Structure 1
Amino acid sequence: MTRPTGSDGPTPLLVLDVVGLTPRLLDHMPHLKQLGQSGSRAPLGTVLPAVTCAAQSTFLTGTTPSEHGIVGNGWYFRELGDVLLWRQHNGLVAGDKLWDAARRAHPGYTVANICWWYAMGADTDFTVTPRPVYYADGRKEPDCYTRPPALHDELTDKLGTFPLFHFWGPGADLVSSQWIIDATRHIMATRHPDLTLCYLPHLDYDLQRFGPDDPRSLKAAADLDAALAPLLD
């Protein structure tokens, strides 16, 4: 994607974190494969452990888990004497983020984070992250946190409540990734951020359930590619 001719500033960038994606699965994802073939490509490695939170933090900081501190999707917190999973505050990620460098070069550089992890407390301009409502009687209601706060009702009115129970766990399916894709399209069209981060979890669960070569996993890849087509266009 590029800025209109004659405008100043950096070229807008969309980064998709398609969890579970492999080169072989791209054969079942023609829209995404075409995008990958349209530009130069370099081998993309991973980190150890190769899990969502550690990999995303390495991408955003350019450092290893031993440096940024995100050594898994959860770990033992010595000062608390407890194992905590899926914490959400960006204060846990040590070091500069890539947008810090971008802002030094381009003051006013804007960033949208749509469901990349450790979004709470990050100095991004637009944020959407899963955040359920907990009631005194133990009930948990699907919802999300946004910044600015008004974005919450704007997205809910347009797309419905964030489908938390389709985002992780046994009910995880395409519904959550579709909501995230639609939210990403809306934010890009209305806010025009310089950098947009979009986390799509759909493949992760079916690949874990069935394995990477199962027909159901291949269908999940094709379904996600079809959902992505309007965003890639």
Structure 2
Amino acid sequence: AAAAELDIALAPLIEDARREGRTVVALSEYGITKADRPVHLNRALREAGLLEVHTQDGMEYLDPMASRAFAVADHQIAHVYVRRPEDLEATRAALAGVEGIGELLDDEGKKAHGIDHARAGELVAVAAPGHWFTYYYWLDEARAPDFAQLVEIHRKPGYDPVELFMDPEDPYVRLKAAGALARKKLGMRYRMAVVPLDAAPVQGSHGRLPDSEDEGPVLLSSDPAAATGRLAATDVKPLLLRLAGLDGA
């Protein structure tokens, strides 16, 4: 049903493009695969004494400057930053036994995957199939930071897909959301604190290389000759520039 609605909405745009002789491209950045098992890297680092927090009003906040190591998670990839070279082995050991880590890339591993950037973590964790990484670092929900239940992308040390959900354990969550929205419309201060602290609602993710092409990103073109077979992600930009006549050729 959703695909049919999308076809109807896009039809006028596609027809206009065809009349002007343009090539229409539909491109997905990634494919979503089933992943319903969260992995808490920062909690493992904290339990190993490598990650530090500071407390304010009873809430805990990650202290990256005091931490010997911490992870910045993004779906199924996490950059693990290690302050000193002498802490690298301790960090590796703290993560070695964490279930749900498929790979832990060092300098050679990062180079092999083409992600040996100067700003990359000293280690890069790749989730095992069916798993994904949270940013969570608190060990007691009562001490979670004030932003944990908010849509707050700039304060969380990592992407939080749980922001897509309302807390299923709170019977008044929709009423709270409605009240916060009403305050917003009235120009008053408000807090939309409705995000769950439990990562269980997340059922899909992306980031690790897909195990099959069916789980990967897709490129569709109205010109069958535009791209055939598999296409490297780094080849997408020059392809689009060529189709748009902006490649200088």
**Global fold match (TM > 0.5):** no
Q: TM-score, normalised by structure 1?
A: 0.25
Tell which structure's C-alpha radius of gyration is larger: 2
